[in-house]
Structure 1
Amino acid sequence: MATTDRKPILISGAGIASLLLGQALLRASIPFRIFEKDTSIIFRAQGYRLRLSTEGLDAIEAVLGPDGFQKFWDTCGKTGGVGFTAIDAISGEPKDDGIVAYDNGKKKAAEEPEPSQKVLRETLASRGGKVVGISRGDMRKLFLAGCEEFIEWGHQVVGYESTASGVRAIFADGSKSVEGEMLVGGEGLYSRVAEQLSDGKLKVYDTGARGIHGQAPTTAFKGLGEGVWRIADNTRPDGRVFIITNVRPGDMDDENVEFGWTMGAQPGVIRPPNDDYTITGVTAANIAKDITKNWHPRLRPLFDQMIENEAAFWKITCSTPTGVPEWTNDPRVTVIGDAVHSMTPAGGIGANTAVRDSALLGRLLAEAGGFSDGVTAAYEKEMRVYASQAVATSYGLAKSQFGITIDENTPTIRRGPRPV
Structure 2
Amino acid sequence: MATSTRKPILISGAGLSSLLLAQSLLRASIPFQIFERDASVSFRAQGYRLRLSSEGLDAIESVLSPADFQKFWDTCGKTSGAGGGLTILDALTASPPPALPTEESSEEKANAKPTGPPMSLTSRDGKTIGISRGDMRRLFMACCEPFINWSHHVTAYELTPSGVRAVFADGSKSIEGDMLVGGEGIYSGVAKQVSGGKLKTYDTGARGIHGQAPSTAFKGLGEGVWAVRDTSRNQGDVFAITNVRPGDMDDPTVQFGWTMGSHPGVIRAPNDDYTMIGAPAASIAQELTANWHPRLRPLFEQMDVSEAAFWKITCSTPTGVPEWSNEPRVTVIGDAAHSMTPAGGIGANTAVRDSALLGNLLAEKGGWESGVTEAYERGMREYASEAVRASYGMAKTQFGIHIDENSKTHLTLSPPNPDDQV
TM-score under structure 1 length normalisation = 0.94
| One-letter code aligned to 1:159 | A
In structure 2, what is the equivalent of residue 27 of structure 1? 27
Q: 2:94 aligns with which of 92, 95, 108?
A: 92
Task: Tell me how far 1:65 sits from its aligned partner.
Answer: 2.5
1:121-158, CA deviations, whole angstroms, 9 ceiling, x for partnerless residues? xx310000000000011100000001010000111100
Aligned to 1:363: 360
Which consecutive unaligned segments of at least 5 residues does structure 2 have?
414-422
Contact 2:215 2:250 (C-alpha < 8 Å) held by counterparts:
yes
CA offset at residue 5 of structure 1?
A: 1.3
Q: Which residue of 1 aligns with 2:80?
A: 80
State the match for 1:15 in structure 2.
15
Conserved in 2, the CA contact under 8 Å of 1:242 and 1:264? yes
1:97 and 1:232 in contact (8 A); partners too? no
2:211 aligned with 1:211: no
Superposition pairs of residues 362-401 of structure 1, within 5 angstroms: 362-401=359-398
The residue that corresponds to 1:234 in the other structure is: 231
Aligned equivalents of 2:285, 2:297: Cα separation in 1:
11
Deviation track 1:309-364 (CA, whole Å, cap 9, x = no partner) reads 11001110000011100111000000000001000000000000000000000000
Q: What's the offset of the Cα at 1:188?
A: 0.2
Structure 2 CA distance for aligned equivalents of residues 272 and 99 of structure 1? 36
Report the CA distance between 1:93 and its aligned residue.
1.7
Cα displacement (A) at 1:224:
0.3
Q: Which residue, out of 271, 279, 283, partners 2:280?
A: 283
Please say if residues 99 and 400 of structure 1, whose CA atoms lie closer than 8 Å, have aligned partners that are also in contact.
no
Task: Indicate if the aligned counterparts of 2:216 and 2:252 stay in contact, CA closer than 8 A.
Answer: yes
Partner of 2:118: 119
Letter in 2 for 1:132: I
- How many residues are aligned here? 407
Query: 1 CA distance for matches of 2:108 and 2:68?
Result: 45
| Aligned-partner Cα distance in 1 for 2:101–2:190 | 36
Offset at residue 105 of structure 1 (A): 7.8
2:318 to 312, 321, 333: 321
In structure 1, the gaps of 5 or more residues are none
| Deviations 1:233-284 (CA, angstroms, capped at 9, x unpaired) | 0001110000000001001111111100000100000001122211111110
Structure-2 separation of matches of 1:183 and 1:237: 49
- Relative distance call for 1:98 and 1:207 in structure 2 (3 A) is farther
Of residues 293-302 and 88-97 in structure 1, the stretch that sits farther from structure 2 once superposed is: 88-97
Classify the secondary structure of the residue corresponding to 2:206.
strand
SS of 2:140's equivalent?
helix
Q: Distance in 2 between matches of 1:222 and 1:385?
A: 42
Question: How far apart are residue 399 of structure 1 and its match?
Answer: 0.2
2:44 maps to 44
In the TM superposition, residue 94 of structure 1 has moved relative to its aligned partner by 2.2
Q: Is the 8 A contact 1:9 1:180 kept in 2?
A: yes
* Deviation digits for residues 61-87 of structure 1 (CA, Å, limit 9, x no counterpart): 000031111000000000003211111
Given that 1:279 and 1:312 are in contact with CA atoms closer than 8 Å, whether structure 2 keeps it comes out as yes
Matched, 1:248 2:245: yes
Residues 101-250 of structure 1: pairs in structure 2 closer than 5 A: 106-107=108-109, 116=116, 118-120=117-119, 123-250=120-247
User: Distance in 1 between the 2:115 and 2:192 partners?
Assistant: 31
Per-residue CA distance 1:290-319 (angstroms, 9 max, x = gap):
111111111111011101111001110000
The alpha carbon displacement at 1:91 in A equals: 1.2
Find the residue that maps to 1:277 and give its secondary structure: coil
- Indicate conservation of the 8 Å contact 2:317/2:405, yes or no: no
Cα RMSD (Å) of the superposition?
1.9
- The amino acid across from 1:67 in the alignment is A
SS of residue paired to 1:280: coil
* Equivalent residue number for residue 419 of structure 2: none
AA aligned opposite 1:23: Q
Structure 1 contact 191–415 (Cα < 8 Å) conserved: no
Q: 1:415 to 1:271 in 2, by over 3 A?
A: closer
Please give the alpha-carbon distance, in whole angstroms, between the structure 2 residues aligned to 1:99 and 1:30.
56
Distance 1:99 1:298, change over 3 A: farther
Assess if the C-alpha contact under 8 Å between 1:195 and 1:415 holds in 2. Answer: no
Matched residues, percent identical? 70
Q: What is the CA distance between 1:203 and its match in structure 2?
A: 0.5
Distance 1:268 1:305 in 2: 26
Amino acid corresponding to residue 183 of structure 2 in structure 1: G
Deviations 1:378-411 (A, max 9, x none): 0000000000000000000000000000123311
Residue 61 (structure 1) aligned with residue 61 (structure 2): yes
Q: Which moved more, 1:65-74 or 1:20-29?
A: 65-74
One-letter code of the match for 1:92?
A: A
CA distance in 2: counterparts of 1:361 and 1:415, whole angstroms? 31
Question: Where in structure 1 do 4 or more consecutive aligned residues deviate above 4 Å?
Answer: 96-100
| 8 Å contact kept, 1:198–1:328 | yes
The one-letter code of the counterpart of 2:94 is G
Distance in 1 separating the partners of 2:101 and 2:146? 46
- Whichever residue aligns with residue 37 of structure 1, its letter is R
The residue identity in structure 2 corresponding to 1:87 is L
**Letter aligned with residue 272 of structure 2:** D
